[in-house]
Chain A
């Protein structure tokens, strides 16, 4: 079986990221492990968005809401586990948790529910209205978090000590990187499988021509809603990982800058491409680190890069290297 050029590029990218922490430790620069972990997490968050935006053509400017709710799920559960106080829901109370798998499950569930609520309203609009309404919902969650003193309000919420994973010492940076990397790979596999499935076919066709999809007997709304929910779940999981990386959650995770950043990652890497989000995240974090060290105005240069991509390399980095996407 021959592998396509895009597959080869994807493999190189994935292996490159995997190699970073080991090289970093050899060089005695443990900080690079954190950078690589950031790349993996932002990549995963953008994979989530890529399902909605890349496959479904749903330009969500509100994915920070899912990222943030995942982060708060981690922060809130951890803070209750730390204080020993159960979470009180009025009718019933549940204990907090320091276990990552539990936190991830809660983050995914919360992200999915929020996406179902936001999607079922937003998906009745399209185009610019969809962009604006998703932005509006995300800003609502942002201001909600700011004005909610129980969990730090504007100041955010610290996670005293990184949450745990059975059998792994998560305090070792390389270990935590490997956990995030494993979930990134799961995200990539899930994206590829979804894209090639019947669901993916209906979703991608809805992006291209909704009338056509309806006229063969498939209702586009339900397909898009399901995609939006899956998308929100993945981004929420990334949010929980991000909270544990920084050991801190704040409303800034919910802000529109974050939503914009996800879109930028995808455009840099390649919209709808399997490894577009990963390529974008790697470029972005590298740019932020290298240029951020040289000048405070590094985002000006990021803007130039983005402009260049939009004008001269529509397919992003992956498109530039592997050519246009082909559909069977």
Chain B
């Protein structure tokens, strides 16, 4: 197996007596979609928060592109190329879709401490942003404020932002949530191609999408990874069936 882009070792996080993350070890290798599934409250979002750097783990190590990142903040990890979409869309609501993406382009190009040149007339910002919007299928909605986009479009916009960041790995927290069947299908096709650009750690409840996309699946239950394997291995794992699939399906 290739060198891992993202490696999580023995991560632990407790909230009082609740062990939200317990000795979790996961890795993400180039070209793969690694799905993270588990029942509600299994600690999937808590884990994503720790990887992204918005929550500090109690112990354990996170390595990204071969170097430890546990001591870095969310902004620094994002600059290294850790792109993220949120479970509940998190955008600058007054800004147009274009300006939301431009913010990512501007960050990728380096410092934001530039005080004079107007951004809207800066082709080095506008063009890459339009390109990312086009890839995410939002080109026609570029000038619409994020607050006026539909739920599905906001999801697409988050992905366009992650694309524009030139991410080396994607953390996608339930990108299909709230999307209609048509939207889910389009997005599934899109993510399928996206993995060639950078590997994806995908948290998702839509099992059809997970089984269609994932190269590997890890099952999280009560903060612990109870199984990691291919789609077939996970489908046939008795413990997974008992803990999760059996009850849910």
Name A residues whose Cβ lies closer than 8 Å to a Cβ of B: 193-194, 196-202, 204-205, 208-209, 211-220, 223, 226, 325, 327-328
Q: Which residues of B contact A196 (CB under 8 A)?
A: 118-120
The 9 closest A-B pairs by CB, nearest first: A217-B79, A217-B78, A196-B118, A208-B92, A202-B112, A217-B107, A216-B104, A219-B75, A198-B114
Chain B interface size, under 10 / 10 to 19 / 20 to 34 / 35 or more: 35 or more
Task: Report yes or no: B75 in contact with A214, Cβ–Cβ below 8 A.
Answer: yes
Within the complex, the shortest CB–CB distance from A288 to chain B, in Å, comes to 33
Q: Which residues of B contact A325 (CB under 8 A)?
A: 94
Pick the residue among B73, B115, B161 that contacts A216 (CB under 8 A): B161
Cα separation A193 to B121 with both chains bound (whole Å): 12
Q: Pick 14 A–B contacts, CB within 8 A, sort by A.
A: A204-B94, A205-B100, A205-B103, A209-B90, A212-B91, A214-B73, A215-B75, A216-B78, A217-B108, A217-B165, A220-B75, A226-B113, A328-B95, A328-B98
Task: Report yes or no: A327 in contact with B75, Cβ–Cβ below 8 A.
Answer: no
Q: Which residues of B contact A194 (CB under 8 A)?
A: 115
Q: Which B residues from 12 to 60 make CB contacts under 8 A with A?
A: 52, 54
**Which A residue's beta carbon lies closest to that of B117?**
A197
Task: Report yes or no: A215 in contact with B99, Cβ–Cβ below 8 A.
Answer: no
Within the complex, the shortest CB–CB distance from B142 to chain A, in Å, comes to 10
Name B residues whose Cβ lies closer than 8 Å to a Cβ of A: 52, 54, 73-76, 78-79, 84, 86, 90-96, 98-100, 102-104, 106-108, 111-120, 125, 143, 145, 161, 165
Task: Report yes or no: B165 in contact with A216, Cβ–Cβ below 8 A.
Answer: yes
Task: Report yes or no: B78 in contact with A214, Cβ–Cβ below 8 A.
Answer: yes
Task: Report yes or no: B120 in contact with A216, Cβ–Cβ below 8 A.
Answer: no
Q: Which residues of B contact A217 (CB under 8 A)?
A: 75-76, 78-79, 104, 107-108, 165
Within the complex, the shortest CB–CB distance from B176 to chain A, in Å, comes to 20
Task: Report yes or no: B95 in contact with A197, Cβ–Cβ below 8 A.
Answer: no
Task: Report yes or no: A209 in contact with B92, Cβ–Cβ below 8 A.
Answer: yes
Q: Which residues of B contact A216 (CB under 8 A)?
A: 78, 103-104, 107, 161, 165
Q: Which residues of A contact B119 (CB under 8 A)?
A: 196-198, 200-201, 328
Cα separation A274 to B235 with both chains bound (whole Å): 60
Task: Report yes or no: A193 in contact with B75, Cβ–Cβ below 8 A.
Answer: no
Task: Report yes or no: A201 in contact with B73, Cβ–Cβ below 8 A.
Answer: no
Pick the residue among A200, A215, A223, A327 that contacts B90 (CB under 8 A): A215
Within the complex, the shortest CB–CB distance from A57 to chain B, in Å, comes to 11
Task: Report yes or no: B120 in contact with A223, Cβ–Cβ below 8 A.
Answer: no
Within the complex, the shortest CB–CB distance from B114 to chain A, in Å, comes to 4
Q: Which residues of A contact B125 (CB under 8 A)?
A: 198
Task: Report yes or no: A208 in contact with B114, Cβ–Cβ below 8 A.
Answer: no
Q: Which residues of B contact A214 (CB under 8 A)?
A: 54, 73-75, 78
Q: Which residues of B contact A208 (CB under 8 A)?
A: 92-95
**Which B residue's beta carbon lies closest to that of A205?**
B92
Task: Report yes or no: B95 in contact with A327, Cβ–Cβ below 8 A.
Answer: yes
Task: Report yes or no: B103 in contact with A202, Cβ–Cβ below 8 A.
Answer: yes
Given contacts A201-B102, A328-B98, A328-B99, whether A193 and B116 have CB atoms under 8 Å apart is yes
Q: Which residues of B contact A328 (CB under 8 A)?
A: 95-96, 98-99, 119-120, 143
Cα separation A214 to B104 with both chains bound (whole Å): 10
Task: Report yes or no: A218 in contact with B75, Cβ–Cβ below 8 A.
Answer: yes
Cα separation A158 to B121 with both chains bound (whole Å): 49
Task: Report yes or no: A204 in contact with B161, Cβ–Cβ below 8 A.
Answer: no
| Of listed A199, A211, A213, A328, residue having the most chain B CB within 10 A | A328
Given contacts A214-B73, A216-B78, A217-B79, whether A198 and B93 have CB atoms under 8 Å apart is no
Pick the residue among A202, A211, A226 that contacts B106 (CB under 8 A): A202
- Besides the contacts A212-B100, A216-B78, A217-B76, what 15 more A-B pairs have beta carbons closer than 8 Å? A193-B116, A196-B119, A198-B111, A199-B114, A199-B115, A201-B106, A204-B94, A208-B93, A211-B54, A211-B90, A213-B92, A215-B52, A215-B78, A216-B107, A218-B107
Within the complex, the shortest CB–CB distance from A233 to chain B, in Å, comes to 13
Q: Which residues of A contact B99 (CB under 8 A)?
A: 201, 327-328
Q: Which residues of B contact A202 (CB under 8 A)?
A: 103, 106, 112
Within the complex, the shortest CB–CB distance from B42 to chain A, in Å, comes to 23
Q: Which residues of A contact B74 (CB under 8 A)?
A: 211, 214-215
Within the complex, the shortest CB–CB distance from A222 to chain B, in Å, comes to 8
